[in-house]
Structure 1
């Protein structure tokens, strides 16, 4: 019985993975997106390795030609600037590893174990130097190649440095001149995803507030609202990636880049929106907490609050379709008018309420007003 359960679990996992692979392959060939970017960068890395090997192993007949394709593959990075920076770091650390290991072989008269004792502790420590970044480990691995290969003549060391330099030039050239990566779409896509996630959460909260036990899912809403802040961080990461991708990148002249990403003001605006949603969810969760002395608002107030959140969800959904665009603005303005009408009803409920729930109602009324202000159609 247990064996059958494991087989079913493995089969389900394999089916899910296969479906994900098929979906990624389909997206790579059918539309622009991260899947196609990954395909292009992978093919470029393979091509750069083949070219580097052809130059060093086939044409120059270098004694350790594998250094060239190894370096070339590593330098086909996500941005041209990153390729150049990584290339300088990699060549520097490989040069140090090669020279140090060759000197150790000379001192120890080609004794492999003694050369490793002289080389590896220093190179692994040097690999943690922050100027080398993530390339620091390559110093130790290159030193291992040199020591195990067993030759430390000046001619051999020069060839290894030449092979590394050829690989770096090939990798950087391929990345910069063959469909250079331009990261302009990621910011727009992630802002759209953030608007869509906000719409889904606000809609879920609105539905829950109309139920008899309106606050029983408040903790889940607070958790989902916290995840919105993580999505907001991904927008910031994409913005930084796009900025770096434009540095020293000939892509603007060599390929179509599409429209520029939304302005940075949109990031700030959505930061405020996500903060408002998180505050509303936290307040509702605080009411549901058994250890708090906050009084829950009456059902009529929660229903009015649900109407406001529902219209706010409509505004976010509209923006998810056309983030930052002037088209379809009329639809958003109509949703905004309905949202303000719902908020006036909510405010009327608050003004007629008295008792211990008044502070909570005032906080929710204020936060929803600020949310609608931040969601207002841009002029």
Structure 2
């Protein structure tokens, strides 16, 4: 049994390693470049048509959507650069001043044809072509090689569909939620004791560093969103994108509020030093409340990233129960803080800030609030799609309306029969 378990674990590691974005990108790029070079050797007059594998290497991306968009922009950039070089070759030769004019003209043309990040590629293509003596033959050969590389790069992603990076994005979101949970637990433990000011300040710095984690999670989520676009293997890709994006937005708001809460704890610790920030009973309530909110944050992340309906329902139940318990503890804490303010009103504004900030986190993760947000985002995306592609939207609606008519017609035929 142990041998079987070890082999299954090794196999799981091997699968995860080959699904790694770096490994997938390397294998796909190398394959596309080799195929493009073989095809270009037969179709291009150049003895070493390296433009084709270079184009395939730059065009092929991890997702099909990125491949399509990058391929179109790169082909436009190279063709524009070749045309500029052909025009310059008819007028001037290659000198220092003509090279400067060529670069200026190429960059200007690149902005006009809207190739985005491939604007320098226009100037690079123009310089490479202008520097060759047989400009005419080399120019058109470069265009052919560029088209070969772009077509091969696109074909590799069509024949070898790239993976959908939902699991990686989900792991990133859950990892962020667990880091938020750990920070909340540490803040709660220190609130129940007598932390030094330096320790409270350290928690504030940790809360600020969560901004960098959000940037990394956002990058993983963007990759997942691109992998869902134009992917024939994915159904309801829009719903997946909206669920993950709104979930990350909620976690980002929670981290911002947590950073404000850490600043409130730091200022409260300074104001009450050398006394503890809370009395023992109130500190215990703060620790309990932050622990319950921390668990709810993880439940929220699991809810957002659960692809199976049964897992999502279980996570939603845990989240709702956790938020109800947190609301009860919050009310208890509010009563304890009111009693402390009646005894000593010097730090009342800090106590009010603590309640306001924990309320905001609880409200952001509320299931009803999340449902409204999802419906709003889905309506907004549908409205934007109708505005961008009105003809395609009308075609889809007509096909959707025709289905029940065909079904009714089929039933009437069966009845007549």
TM-score class normalised by the smaller sequence: 0.7 to 0.9
Q: Is the 8 A contact 1:296 1:360 kept in 2?
A: no
| CA distance 1:215–1:364, change in 2 (3 Å) | farther
Matches within 5 A, 1:39-54: 39-54=23-38
- What residue number does 1:101 align with? 85
Which residue matches 2:210?
228
Query: Aligned runs of 1:204-223 on 2, under 5 Å?
Result: 204-213=186-195, 215-223=197-205
Report the Cα offset of residue 201 of structure 1: 0.7
Deviation per residue, 1:213-255 (Å, 9 max, x gap): 35432222222223334444555555444444333333438xx
Distance 1:220 1:147, change over 3 A: same
Match of 1:196 in 2: 178
Q: Secondary structure at the match of 1:252?
A: coil
Q: Which moved more, 1:40-49 or 1:349-358?
A: 349-358
Q: 1:267 to 1:328 in 2, by over 3 A?
A: closer
RMSD: 3.6
Deviations 1:314-358 (A, max 9, x none): 333455556552235665566556544543442231121222122
Question: Would the alpha carbon gap of residues 157 and 340 (structure 1) be closer, same or farther in structure 2, given more than 3 Å must change?
Answer: closer
Contact 1:297 1:360 in 2 (8 A): no
Aligned-pair CA distance for 1:62: 2.9
Question: Which shows bigger deviation, 99-108 or 347-356?
Answer: 99-108
Give the structure-1-normalised TM-score: 0.76
Task: Tell me, yes or no, if the aligned pair for 1:209 and 1:215 is still in contact at 8 Å.
Answer: no
- Name whichever structure is richer in helix by fraction: 2
Q: Which of the numbers 286, 290, 307 marks the counterpart of 2:288?
A: 307
Q: Distance in 1 between matches of 2:101 and 2:270?
A: 63
- 1:358 corresponds to which of 344, 348, 357: 348
Deviations 1:161-183 (A, max 9, x none): 11111111111221233123434
Q: For the residues of structure 2 that align with 1:158 and 1:130, how far apart are their CA atoms?
A: 19
Shift in CA distance, 251/321, structure 1 to aligned 2, threshold 3 Å = closer
How many residues are paired up? 346
1:150 correspondence with 2:133: yes
Deviation at 1:86, TM superposition (A): 1.9
Which stretch has the larger CA shift, 320-329 or 205-214? 320-329
1:5 paired residue number? none
Distance 1:331 1:142 in 2: 58
Q: CA, structure 1 residues 30+245, in 2 after alignment: closer, same or farther (shift >3 Å)?
A: closer
Give distance in 1, aligned partners of 2:256 and 2:125.
49
Give the C-alpha shift of residue 42 in structure 1: 1.4
Which runs of 5 or more residues in structure 2 are unaligned? Answer: 1-9, 307-311, 372-417
C-alpha distance in 1 between matches for 2:315 and 2:64: 37
Aligned to 1:38: 22
Deviation at 1:135, TM superposition (A): 0.8
Within 5 A, what are the aligned runs for 1:74-113?
A: 74-108=58-92, 111=94
Does 1:250 pair with 2:229? no
Contact 2:33-2:52 at 8 Å conserved across structures: yes
Q: Which moves more between the two structures, 222-231 or 192-201?
A: 222-231
Task: Extract unaligned runs of 5+ from structure 1.
Answer: 1-24
Deviation at 1:93, TM superposition (A): 1.9
Q: Does the 8 Å CA contact 1:76/1:175 hold for their aligned counterparts? A: yes
For 2:317 and 2:224, how far apart are their aligned partners in 1? 31
CA distance in 1, matches of 2:28, 2:88: 37
On the 8 A contact 1:104/1:118 being kept in 2, the answer is no
Tell me by how many angstroms 1:71 deviates. Answer: 0.6
1:136 lines up with 2:126 in the alignment: no
1:372 aligns with 2:382: no
Q: Alignment partner for residue 262 of structure 2, among 267, 281, 287? A: 281
Query: Matched residues in 2 for 1:271 and 1:249: separation?
Result: 28
Cα distance, 1:91 vs structure 2 = 1.6
CA contact (8 A) 1:210 1:303 kept: yes
Kept after mapping to 1: 8 A contact 2:55/2:149: yes
**2:56 maps to what in 1?**
72
